[in-house]
């Protein structure tokens, strides 16, 4: 019997799993640097599962970047993919390529109660869009809309590249300090792993501190050990994230709630939950009341991208059944 395969491919790692009976099976992670192409990595994965080429009928891959045409070039990776060549090589009947944040958004429909933490209390309006936002290597932003009958629509976008919003003179000074190095300051310029370091250098420059920390991990570790400068960096990071998330809710009418995903925030989850995120999220002047009651959740699930790829594949195959 033929099976389906799902993948979530980033710049550093590719995650693959079999999708069977509406669930993930046999998840494995492959460093992209160790393989010349996704076909090679998937071939190794299938062999490990005792499957030969031709035994996988359908594949859905979540990939970083806009998806169109036959060829896709992976962001931050040497991998390339031709749809036609991929299907021929692996003898696959159906290949679905989707944006990685489309998959992440769809993955929110599969969350279990122990995979989320409440950030802002509220009741989601299931008839309205939900916002999915994730600081990681970059800043991903997506939209999830329920269509009824257990069907969902995920809208990808490039919301991580909107201008960074500021709400105080201090934030304006920080933004200007960063602009001296980067020029245009997008939300992603600050709200990402590399952005954490930019924020640290800006605060050091404004306050006359000699920078001693050289990586995002060092900043996080220092904050967790009560370093005052690192703590301010984390606090300001959380406040900027609150402003960006609140802007998205206003833009989309996103009263379905906000899901915070990605690899950055879980590293300092307790600091985040005690931060000024919620205050900045709702700091919208005459529209502040609109943000009241919009729930915000911190997602801790490990394989939301893979789960979302499974949902996307299931919906696509159902449409062609």
Asked if residue 251 belongs to a known ligand binding site, the reply is no
11 annotated binding-site participant: yes
Around Cβ 113, how many Cβ atoms within 10 Å?
5
The reported pLDDT for the residue numbered 69 is 83
9 marked as part of a ligand binding site: yes
Question: Domain 3-100+303-319 carries which CATH code?
Answer: 3.30.420.40
How far is the C-alpha of 234 from the C-alpha of 277, rounded, in Å?
11
Work out the number of other CB atoms within 10 angstroms of the CB of residue 320: 6
8 assigned binding-site residue = yes
Question: What is the pLDDT, as a whole number, of residue 157?
Answer: 80
**Fold agreement (3-100+303-319, 112-300):** no
Instruction: Return the domain boundaries, the chain.
Output: 3-100+303-319, 112-300
So what's the pLDDT on residue 318? 83
Q: Which residues lie closer than 8 Å to 232 by C-beta, 6 or more apart?
A: 203
Give me 21's structure tokens.
């009976």
List, for residues 221-232, the tens digit of each pLDDT value: 999 999 999 999
What is the reported pLDDT for 321? 62
182 is in an annotated binding site: no
E strand segments, 177-310: 258-260, 296-299
- Which residues, given as ranges, of the chain have pLDDT below 50? 1
Q: Is 112-300 in CATH node 3.40.50.150?
A: no
Q: What is the pLDDT of residues 128-175, one digit of tens each?
A: 999 999 998 889 899 999 998 889 999 878 889 999 999 999 999 999
């Amino acid at each position: 019997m033929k099976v389906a395969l799902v993948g979530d491919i980033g710049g550093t790692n590719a995650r693959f799993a079999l999708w069977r009976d509406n669930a993930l099976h046999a998840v494995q992670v492959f460093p992209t640097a160790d393989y010349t192409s996704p076909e090679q990595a998937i071939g190794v994965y299938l062999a490990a599962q005792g499957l030969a080429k031709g035994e996988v009928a359908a594949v859905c891959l979540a990939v970083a970047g806009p998806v169109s045409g036959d060829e896709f070039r992976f962001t931050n990776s040497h991998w390339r993919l031709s749809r036609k060549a991929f299907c021929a090589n692996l003898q696959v009947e159906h290949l679905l390529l989707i944006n990685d944040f489309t998959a992440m958004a769809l993955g929110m429909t599969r969350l279990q109660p122990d995979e989320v933490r409440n950030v802002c209390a509220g009741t989601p309006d299931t008839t309205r869009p939900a916002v999915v936002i994730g600081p990681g290597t970059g800043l991903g932003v997506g939209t999830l809309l329920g269509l009824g009958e257990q069907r969902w629509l995920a809208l990808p976008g490039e919301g991580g590249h909107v201008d960074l919003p500021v709400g105080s003179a201090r934030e304006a000074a920080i933004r200007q300090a960063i602009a001296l190095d980067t020029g245009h300051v997008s939300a992603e310029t600050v709200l990402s792993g590399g952005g954490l370091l930019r924020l640290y250098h800006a605060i050091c420059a404004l306050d006359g501190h000699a920078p001693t920390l050289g990586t995002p991990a060092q900043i996080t570790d220092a904050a967790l050990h009560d370093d005052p400068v690192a703590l301010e960096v984390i606090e300001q990071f959380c406040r900027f994230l609150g402003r960006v998330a609140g802007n998205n809710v206003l833009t989309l009418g996103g009263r379905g709630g906000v899901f915070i995903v990605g690899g950055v925030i879980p590293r300092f989850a307790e600091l985040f939950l005690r931060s000024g995120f919620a205050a900045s999220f709702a700091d919208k002047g005459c529209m502040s009341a609109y943000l009241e009651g919009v729930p915000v959740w911190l997602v801790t699930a490990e394989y939301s991208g893979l789960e979302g790829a499974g949902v996307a594949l299931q919906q696509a195959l159902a449409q062609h059944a």
